Amino acid sequence: MPYARENNATQAEIDTSEIFGSGAFKIVHAGTYTRGTRSGQKCVSKEFKTGCVVESHYFDEELNICAKAQKILDAFNEASIINQEIHLNTPEVWTYLPGCNKAGQKSLIEPMILNFEKFNSNSGWAATDTTGWASAMQALSHFSYHNSAGQFLLCDLQGGRYNNGYVLSDPVIMSRVQNCGPADLGMDGIMSFFQRHKCGAFCKRDWSKPPVLGKAKIPMREGTTMEAYLPTRSSRTPMTNLQRIRE
C-alpha cells in the first residue's frame, strides 16, 4: 500500500514495566524492533483494556477499521487535495514469545510516531489551526463522507509530522449502519461532526454533507467518545519479547 507505514520487522522487545500511553480502550507500551528492516527503531505495542486479550474479535475489528481507513486515505492522497502526503500506521497482530508470563498473548504492533498531536475527535471537536494541518485533517474527514457517498466519516485524526507529510494512527470510522467498532457513533456522530464542522481552505464546495438540523446529539470533547466501554486489566512484565506470527 503506497500510503501505509508498515512494521517491516518480525520481532521486537517491549518494555511493559511502564505505560507509554493510554487511550479510550487500549494501553500502549514502548519497544524496539530487534529483527527486520526496522531493527533498532522504536515501536509501540497496543493492548486492549480487557481480560480477553487473546480473543480474536477485538483484533479482527481493529484491522478491518484500519483497512477501511487506508482506502479512504489512499483516495484522498490520489486526489491531490494538499501538496503533501498523509500516511497511516499499519498495525499487525503479534504474539508474545514463550518464557514470559505474557506468553501467547496478542498485541497490536506498529512503528512509533514522534511529535504526536490530535486534530479532531469523533464528536466534532477540532484543533485550532496554526500550521494548516488542522484544516487539512478537517478536509480529510469531510472528504471521507463525500467520497463514500455518505456511508463513512473518518475522524479522531491524530499522529505526527515528518519531512514528507504526516503519519496518522488509530483513526475512527463512523458509519451510517454503525458497524465500525465501539467509537462508531453512527449517524448521531456523523451529524454532530457536521453540525460543528466549518469548511476550511482545503474543503471543496461540491463535497456533499448531510442536512444539519437542530443541535448536536453528541457532547463535544477532545477525547474519543465511546459507544461501548471495555473493562480494565492490569499486567506488568518488564522487557518481554514479541514476535509476528502468520495465521
Residues 50-80: pLDDT tens digits?
Answer: 654 446 778 899 999 999 999 999 999 999 9
pLDDT(241) > 80:
no
What's the number of domains the chain is made of?
1
pLDDT(232) > 70:
no
Find cell 484543533 and name the residue.
127
Average pLDDT over residues 201-221: 90
Average predicted confidence (pLDDT) for the chain: 87
Torsion region of 155: left, alpha or beta (phi above 0 gives left; psi -120 to 50 gives alpha): beta
Residues ≥6 apart with Cβ < 8 Å to 173:
65, 68, 69, 72, 144, 152, 153, 154, 155, 180, 181, 184
pLDDT(225) > 80:
no
pLDDT(111) > 60:
yes
User: Residue 33: what are its φ and ψ, rounded to 5°?
Assistant: -65, 140
Quickly state the pLDDT bin for 235 (edges 50, 70, 90). Answer: very low
* Vertex 73 angle, CA 67 and 76, to 5°: 150
pLDDT (tens digit per residue) in 143-155: 999 999 999 999 9
| Low-confidence winner among 20-24, 49-53, 84-88 (lowest mean pLDDT) | 49-53
Residue ranges making up the domain that contains 96:
4-244
Q: In what order do the strands lie in the sheet with 158-162?
A: 4-5, 85-89, 165-168, 158-162, 117-118
pLDDT(6) > 90:
yes
pLDDT > 70: percent of the chain = 87
* CATH number of the domain bearing residue 111: 3.20.200.10
H/E segment holding residue 153: strand 152-155
C-alpha dist (Å) from residue 40 to 36, 115, 130: 9, 19, 34
Query: Dihedral of the CA atoms 207, 210, 213, 214 (nearest 10)?
Result: -100
Q: Which of the two residues, 34 and 26, has the higher pLDDT score?
A: 34
Which residue, 181, 127, 111, is CA-closest to 152? 181
| Low-confidence winner among 4-13, 33-42, 182-191, 209-218 (lowest mean pLDDT) | 209-218
Quickly state the pLDDT bin for 1 (edges 50, 70, 90). Answer: low
Residues ≥6 apart with Cβ < 8 Å to 66:
88, 90, 91
pLDDT score recorded for residue 234: 37
pLDDT score recorded for residue 231: 36
Quickly state the pLDDT bin for 236 (edges 50, 70, 90). Answer: very low
Whether the CB-CB separation of 154 and 184 falls below 8 Å is answered with no
Quickly state the pLDDT bin for 103 (edges 50, 70, 90). Answer: confident
Task: Choose the most confident range, by mean pLDDT, from 18-32, 53-67, 81-95, 217-231.
Answer: 81-95
pLDDT score recorded for residue 228: 45
User: Residue 159: what are its φ and ψ, rounded to 5°?
Assistant: 170, -150
